Amino acid sequence: MTLALDLVSWACLMLGAAFVVIGGIGLVRMPDFFTRTHPAGLTDTLGAGLILVGLMIESGWSLNLAKLAMILIFLLFTSPTASHALAHAALVSGLKPWTKPGADSEQNRSKP
Amino acid sequence: MAHRISLFVSLATVWLLLSGHYTGLLLTLGAASCVVVIAISHRMDVIDHESHPIHLGWRLPGYWLWLLAEIVKANIDVARRVVDPSLPIDPRLFEVPAHQKTDLGRVIYANSITLTPGTLSTDVSRDKIQVHALSGAGEDDLRTGTMDAKVCALEGNS
């Protein structure tokens, strides 16, 4: 039983770590601020979520489980609010979103 | 009154879960600080249906489960685009209608859009939400209006 739980927990941790790494790769590959916020969302949701679920399975029925669950809930409430505030501020201060070259937009920059 | 009781219960739960020391003195101090926080919040007039949406009740877990499935799908889609060597993105900025009746409903809708990777709400007004999407697929998903309808159902008749 503990072996099965360990396997599930390891799978969650590895998958979560993979999503965090993919999020990091996305941050580097994306062309501008607005597109970079999307891969950052990977680390916020499934990345952090799966890692926390993996840790919850490891901790078993204890106070730590409740604390990890609280971290997850607060993360899911605060991270979209922060992303929205950042994106809204960027748009209000006049940053133009990058669009695909050739798409119908007045401002086209070349792909990096 | 229901909001104050609910606030006390959540504050007490957080205290009990975070402290882990169940001695008479610490429990008394915890209960006392909960009461003080509620007194201060009452004076600041911040305890209402928006800071404490208990009227959403049991509809909320169902909505969270549905949203979780959407988040997982969107995560896989964005991850696939990131690792694809040709980087198949086509970012766009557009507006979707928001049919929610209350501010709380619109905030839930906008936050759900942002929480789903691939779409990001950039501006919220009375009846529409401006969204930045990473690809056409993200825009098409929102244009179907499924999430809009789900949040409206979550709001209920209140």
Contact call for residues B36 and B15 (beta carbons, < 8 A)? no
Kindly state whether residues B67 and B97 are assigned to the same domain: yes
**B67 and B102 belong to one structural domain:** yes
In a domain, A101, yes or no: no
Distance from CA of A8 to the nearest CA of B (A): 18
Average pLDDT, chain A: 86
- Residues 6+ away with beta carbon under 8 Å from B60: B53, B154
Query: How many separate domains does chain B show?
Result: 2
Please give the average per-residue pLDDT across B126-144, as a whole number: 88
Q: For A30-45, what is the mean pLDDT?
A: 89
**In a domain? residue A51:** yes
Mean pLDDT of A41-60: 91
Closest in B87, B112, B120 to A83, CB measured = B120
Encoded amino acid at B25, one letter: L
Q: Domain for residue B113, yes or no?
A: yes
Which of B64, B68, B76, B89 is the best residue to mutate to test the A interface, defined by the most A CB atoms within 10 Å of its own CB? B89
Q: Is residue B49 part of a domain?
A: no
Average pLDDT over residues A42-54: 91
User: Would residue A99 count as lying in a domain?
Assistant: no
Query: Which residues are CB-contacts of B11 (< 8 A; sequence separation ≥ 6)?
Result: B34, B37, B38
CA distance B79 to B92: 18
Same domain, B79 and B151: yes
| Pairwise CB contact (< 8 Å): A83 & B132 | no
The reply to whether B34 and B62 lie within a common domain is: no
How many structural domains does chain A have? 1
* Closest among B120, B135, B138 to A99, alpha carbons compared: B135
* pLDDT over threshold 90, residue A110: no
Q: Are B75 and A45 a contacting pair at CB < 8 A?
A: yes
CA distance A49 to chain B (A): 10
Nearest to B87 among A22, A29, A70 (CB): A29
pLDDT over threshold 80, residue A109: no
Please tell me if residue B1 touches chain A, with a CB cutoff of 8 Å. Answer: no
The distance of B9 to chain A (nearest Cα, Å) reads 15
pLDDT at A111: 41
Determine, for residues A99 and B91 on separate chains, whether the beta-carbon distance falls below 8 Å: yes
pLDDT in tens, A64-105: 899 999 999 899 889 999 999 999 999 999 888 888 776 654
In this structure, the answer to whether residues B65 and B142 fall within a common structural domain is yes
pLDDT average, residue stretch B144-149: 88
Residue A13 lies in a domain: yes
B95-121 residue pLDDT tens? 999 988 888 889 999 999 999 888 999
* B100 and B27 co-located in one domain: no
Q: Residue B66: how many CB atoms within 10 A of its CB?
A: 15
Closest Cα in chain B to A79 = B115
The answer to whether residue B32 sits within a structural domain is: yes
Of chain B, the percentage scoring pLDDT greater than 90 comes to 32
Question: Based on the domain organization, do B77 and B9 belong to the same domain?
Answer: no
- Residue B50 in any domain: the answer is no
Cβ separation of B115 and A37 shorter than 8 Å? no
DSSP string, B80-108: HHHHSTT-----EEEEEE---SSHHHHHH
Convert the pLDDT of each residue in A14-25 to its tens digit.
Answer: 999 999 999 999
What's the pLDDT band for B2 if we cut at 50, 70, 90? confident
Give the domain extent around B29.
Answer: 2-44
The answer to whether residue A38 is domain-embedded is yes
Looking at CA atoms only, how far is residue B40 from chain A in angstroms?
23
| Residue B125 and residue B71 in one domain | yes
B12 and B82 share a domain?
Answer: no
Q: Is residue A110 part of a domain?
A: no
Look at residue A104 in the predicted model and tell me its pLDDT: 53
Whether B53 is covered by a domain: the verdict is: no
Domain residues for the domain of A12 are: 2-92
Mean pLDDT of chain B: 88
CA A61 to mean position of chain CA atoms: 27
Same domain, residue pair B14 and B86? no
Whether residue A39 and residue B89 make contact (CB cut-off 8 A), yes or no, is no
Task: Let me know if residue A88 belongs to a domain.
Answer: yes
Q: Has residue A112 got a pLDDT over 50?
A: no
Q: Tens digits of per-residue pLDDT, B119-131?
A: 999 999 888 899 9
Q: In B, which residues are within 8 Å of A88 by CB distance?
A: 122-123
Q: Do B141 and B77 have their domain in common?
A: yes
Q: Is the pTM above the cut of 0.80?
A: yes
For residue range B31-79, what is the model confidence (pLDDT) as tens digits? 999 999 999 998 988 887 777 777 777 788 899 999 999 999 999 999 9
A106: pLDDT strictly greater than 50: no
In a domain, A111, yes or no: no
Higher confidence at residue A102 or residue A33? A33
Strand extents, DSSP E, chain A:
none
Q: Give the HSE-up count for residue A102: Cα atoms under 13 Å, Cβ half-sphere.
A: 2
Of B140, B137, B131, the residue nearest B81 (C-alpha): B137
Residues B69 and B136 in one domain: yes
